[in-house]
Amino acid sequence: MKKLIHLLLVLTLFQFTCSTEKTNNQQAAIDTRVNALIKQMTLDEKIGQLIQKNGAAGMDSLVRAGALSSVLNEIDVLAQNQLQRVAMEESRLGIPLIFARDVIHGFNTVLPIPLGQAATWNPDLVKEGAAMSATEARSSGIRWTFSPMIDVTRDPRWGRIAEGYGEDPVLTSAMGVATIKGYQGEELSGKNSMLACAKHFAAYGAAEAGRDYHTVAVPENELRDVYLPPFKAAVEAEAGTFMAAFNEINGIPATGNKFLLSKVLRDEWNFKGFVVSDWESVRQLVVHGYAHDNKDAAYKSFTAGCDMEMASTCYETYLKEMVNSGVVGEELINEAVRDILTIKFKMGLFENPYTNPDDYPAVLNDEHKQLSRNIARESLVLLKNESAVLPLKKDNIRKVAVIGPLADAPHDQLGTWIFDGNKANSTTPLQAIQDYCGKDKVIYAPGMDISRTMNRTGFAKAIDAAKQSDVVLLFIGEESILSGESHCRADISLPGLQEELITEIAKTGKPIVAVVMAGRPLTFEESAKELDAILYAWHPGTMAGPAVADVLFGQESPSGKLPVTFPRTVGQIPIYYAQKNSGKPASDETWERMYEIPPEAFQLSVGNTNHYIDYGFKPWFPFGYGLSYTSFEYSNQKVEKAVYNLGDTIKFSVTVVNTGKTDAKEVVQLYVRDLVGSRTRPVKQLEDFKKVFIAAGDSAEVDFSVPTNSLGFHDQEMNYVTESGDFLAGIGSNSDLELNIQFTIK
């Protein structure tokens, strides 16, 4: 046996050495080609490699002159190939272009919005979705996407919360890495591979008051502990490109931020790809009041480490002049060009510059749609299920009322950022429910045509439909344009007259199952009391209907968990689970005492703790929350040893039993607290999670291996340290759990 293990080890080592050697050889070959090319390039041609423009039309002469590196938003393959031919055959050095596009959550087959994908807590599935998106995009000649967006955010007012993976660095990192690997495949040169772009670097999700593009003021340690880890993980996953963010951070706009783009990204993390600006974010340095004019903007952005300019024209107008006058060293230009050309070689663009759509499977094929349906299904979060109204038993249903503005909204179910999604390909919940139950059983009366409407003329029909039915399926939420870039909301309650619609339908006394489609957490705690079940569906994409119906009718148990805390009211924002304790933490005891005393005595007797006198201190639903059709019992939570040394790997384990009657998946979550630090530590932090399938009546032993190194944080001097001391851990089904496992790091 020992011999066998030894042999296996030797073999593994051999394979590892061979593959490292292969990578090194490939890299050396690319370096040689890049250096040879740079030697031949004029300064104009070099600067040309730093330019990205919108659309292929009218670009021929620029490309012929070698003055353009990348084109975004051209999806006509013929136009791409024609322009690429100019680059390859008519430009002096034949350097290919990269065609780029925002492929954010699917291409023609639209997947759930990224926030919904995060709610699956299933990185493997998310990776498959990204790989599918890449294949579809490649069939339209797209070889570079501006995704994933890995901006941690704790503010659901921010419209772009829809585009990211929520509030937690560990979950965001896992989803970001899965997405990057899905897009880029084994090798960037793969036939189905698409170059990824980690964006927006950095802290874009921390915009003050949830207003897009707004000021970001984050202390450096928090930046490093909360907002940067997903980006560091992206570098480790070899994301080929990064995008500099629109926002300023502590007074310096990200696109001109040397600390971020050079010190952190290049010097500390050793990033080898290239950085692209956001749309006109170089020029915007002037608007920020950080550069005097476009020339100054080009200087500040380029010397900070932003290699390629998207859309604005500061680099092409001023870089040459600045090199010639010695203000910018040509070596700096060479470095940026080197990084861009290296990626172009790695992508195999020189060998395979053109696209033949026939080389690819049809978009929107059954397999792609099935994958989209699977991801959507796992993204659904069951928030409430009183008297087990769900799953519905279709044979027991005589009539079902389908009501609400999002029941049959083929465009809105796709969500934000769907350049290439088309509502004509959507299957809506109404269609899917009709398929499940038979058309004759379904009474459809939307009540409202869109979520924002203030028109109640449809109410009467909807109420009537409810009266005739055994159960009401109410599709409420936000239409897609209420989230996304620059679509922030100060009030995140249900828009329009939807709360009134709920009240009116509730008066019929029929059980109401609400399916909520939205790009963010919405606040409707009061109205929710009138609902029997709530299934939170985000914007589920092309296959929203079948996915939602699968879960409503019990084909599959819901297994999604919240990737972000749901506030009770907007005034609680920012509210997130990984908060600090403060010196006067609120507790159930202090808060509940408020209700034991008469209002007039209130002010005097209530404990001075960090709660709101009107809304307490708890969220509506905690991070990680989500119900199932079955029940899971957690026991035996333990750590292998009581004391570990720095550098050890800590082993945790738990037994999870499916005590119900339904087979289901559960997301087992591990949280840790460092009790005392040289800086105060959050009351708990997600360390790891595993999604496991457990058949009814079965149990699973789930274990976690956590290196002590991952329990660290940035100290006063910004060193990443794991400090010795006492820790607590908890393993459970959401973040509102007791930390009852003790261990010490020596």
CB-facing half-sphere around the CA of 525: CA atoms within 13 A: 10
Question: Cβ(616)–Cβ(720) under 8 Å?
Answer: no
- For residue 40, the surrounding DSSP H or E stretch is helix 2-40
- For 64, phi and psi rounded to 5 degrees? -60, -35
Instruction: Report the candidate in 197, 120, 209 with the shortest Cα–Cα distance to residue 159.
Output: 209
Whole-angstrom Cα distance, residue 531 to residue 28? Answer: 63
Question: Cβ(729)–Cβ(735) under 8 Å?
Answer: no
Whole-angstrom Cα distance, residue 695 to residue 164? Answer: 32
Closest distance between ligand BGC and the C-beta of residue 582, in Å? Answer: 35
Closest distance between ligand BGC and the C-beta of residue 146, in Å? Answer: 3
Closest distance between ligand BGC and the C-beta of residue 12, in Å? Answer: 40
Whole-angstrom Cα distance, residue 280 to residue 288? Answer: 12
Told to judge if 278 belongs to the known catalytic residues of this protein, a careful annotator would answer yes
Tell me whether residue 199 or residue 568 sits nearer to ligand BGC (CB atom).
199
Question: Cβ(408)–Cβ(428) under 8 Å?
Answer: yes
Instruction: Report the candidate in 67, 28, 33 with the shortest Cα–Cα distance to residue 49.
Output: 67
Closest distance between ligand BGC and the C-beta of residue 311, in Å? Answer: 8
Residue numbers 457-516 binding ligand BGC by CB under 6 A:
485
Tell me whether residue 282 or residue 535 sits nearer to ligand BGC (CB atom).
282
Tell me whether residue 119 or residue 197 sits nearer to ligand BGC (CB atom).
197
Residue 620 is a binding residue for ligand BGC (CB under 6 A): no
Q: With 0-12 CB in 10 A as exposed, 13-18 as middle and 19+ as buried, what is 439?
A: exposed
Tell me whether residue 278 or residue 378 sits nearer to ligand BGC (CB atom).
278
Instruction: Report the candidate in 162, 164, 149 with the shortest Cα–Cα distance to residue 488.
Output: 162
What would the 3-class secondary structure string for 78-111 be? HHHHHHHHHHHHHCCCCCCCEEEECCCCECCCEC
Closest distance between ligand BGC and the C-beta of residue 279, in Å? Answer: 4
Residue numbers 666-705 binding ligand BGC by CB under 6 A:
none
Tell me whether residue 308 or residue 537 sits nearer to ligand BGC (CB atom).
308
Whole-angstrom Cα distance, residue 611 to residue 615? Answer: 8
Q: With 0-12 CB in 10 A as exposed, 13-18 as middle and 19+ as buried, what is 13?
A: exposed
Closest distance between ligand BGC and the C-beta of residue 199, in Å? Answer: 6
Closest distance between ligand BGC and the C-beta of residue 329, in Å? Answer: 30
Tell me whether residue 247 or residue 469 sits nearer to ligand BGC (CB atom).
247
Extended beta strands in 607-648, E state: 632-639, 643-644
Catalytic, out of 225, 278, 412, 420: 278
> Rounded to whole angstroms, what are the CA distances from 62 to 83, 97, 315, 345, 385?
10, 12, 14, 21, 61
The radius of gyration computed from the CA coordinates of the chain, to the nearest angstrom, equals 27
User: How many residues form the binding site for ligand BGC (CB under 6 A)?
Assistant: 6
The DSSP bridge partners found for residue 686 are 671
Residue numbers 524-583 binding ligand BGC by CB under 6 A:
none
Closest distance between ligand BGC and the C-beta of residue 195, in Å? Answer: 13
CA 256 to chain CA centroid, Å, is 25
Whole-angstrom Cα distance, residue 95 to residue 100? Answer: 16
Among 143, 199, 344, 373, binds ligand BGC (CB under 6 A): 199
Among 74, 102, 151, 316, binds ligand BGC (CB under 6 A): 102
Closest distance between ligand BGC and the C-beta of residue 120, in Å? Answer: 22
Whole-angstrom Cα distance, residue 489 to residue 519? Answer: 11
Tell me whether residue 146 or residue 158 sits nearer to ligand BGC (CB atom).
146
- For 607, phi and psi rounded to 5 degrees? -65, 145
Closest distance between ligand BGC and the C-beta of residue 28, in Å? Answer: 33
Tell me whether residue 310 or residue 448 sits nearer to ligand BGC (CB atom).
310
The site string for ligand BGC over 135-174 (x = CB under 6 A, - otherwise) reads -----------x----------------------------
Tell me whether residue 199 or residue 346 sits nearer to ligand BGC (CB atom).
199
CB-facing half-sphere around the CA of 302: CA atoms within 13 A: 32
- For 730, phi and psi rounded to 5 degrees? -145, 145
Tell me whether residue 198 or residue 226 sits nearer to ligand BGC (CB atom).
198
Residue numbers 275-334 binding ligand BGC by CB under 6 A:
278-279
Residue ranges in contact with ligand BGC by CB under 6 A: 102, 146, 199, 278-279, 485
Please list the active-site residues: 278
